[in-house]
Amino acid sequence: MAESEGPYDLNIPVSCGSSTTLLAVVRRALSLGYKTVALNTEVSQGQFVTKKDKSRKEQADTLLDFPPPTHLNLGPGDYPGLAEKGLAPTILNRLTINMTNNDFMIAYNKSAVAKQYDILAINCSSSPALTALLKSSFRFDILCFSPDQVAAGVKWTRKLYYECVERHVHLELSYGPMVRSSVDRRRVMSQALTYNSVGRSRAVLLTSEARKPLELRSPDDAANLGILLGLGQGGGVEAVRRAGAAVH
């Protein structure tokens, strides 16, 4: 695994906005001062057909295996600020799985492609799903959420939060949805305050989830969002500049 250095943005979706390209988003992130970024490929448990539901009719998005990691060919012209210092960025690949129960492990465990990713993130649909996952021997790096899950998704308790921390799982907060929608802004802030209430915002990772270059914020501006998200100034800096090293 490649050596990495902060600041980090460990969530740049491979499926970016229709008016831009993944390369344009990555170039913008590097120009803002990020040294390590992760290209995020997202799949859902329902896209895989297991033995339990093999009689189900295949859909257009049905997957036989996980998509391969995305590779970008970057040259010094794509990161002039780093190149002037004789440095090059670290480009990681992240796999995010939206899951409802532990059956997704069947597809993951038999896939050689899935093991090629540097980072594994999980989006759990409910508290029972997360509890069952934590009780298993399955290892993952990041626990994320979708803004529309905040009200009906995982019901956080202090015990559940610290079980995640003890398993070395980082809890992700992404500011991209806050930029795109005022409704999602309130939802992300609500989730952030919940993390602060039940877990004192320990092991929080701040990422962009930017789908367009203009949705990105500099590392300092992203860290300042920590105040709005209950992290405080120091916690915001930690979530942008150092937490990524612990994840990676």
- pLDDT attached to residue 53: 57
- pLDDT attached to residue 57: 59
- In this predicted structure, the answer to whether residue 1 has a pLDDT above a threshold of 50 is no
Tokens found for residue 4? 């990495």
Beta-bridge mates of residue 128: none
Residue 125 has what DSSP assignment?
A: S
User: CA-CA distance, 29 to 10, in Å (whole number)?
Assistant: 11
Band (230; pLDDT cuts 50, 70, 90): very high
| Cα angle value 204/229/240 (rounded, 5°) | 45
| Tens digit of each residue's pLDDT (9 = 90 or more) over 169-189 | 999 999 999 999 999 999 999
Q: For the residues of 163-175, what is the DSSP string, one character each? A: HHHHTTPEEEEES
- What is the residue whose two structure tokens read 């440095």? 87
| Tens digit of each residue's pLDDT (9 = 90 or more) over 23-53 | 999 999 999 999 999 999 999 999 987 655 5
Tokens found for residue 63? 């997957």
Q: Closest Cα partner for 160 from 172, 149, 148, 169?
A: 169
Name which of 16-20, 57-61, 102-106, 205-209 the model is least confident about: 57-61
- pLDDT attached to residue 232: 86
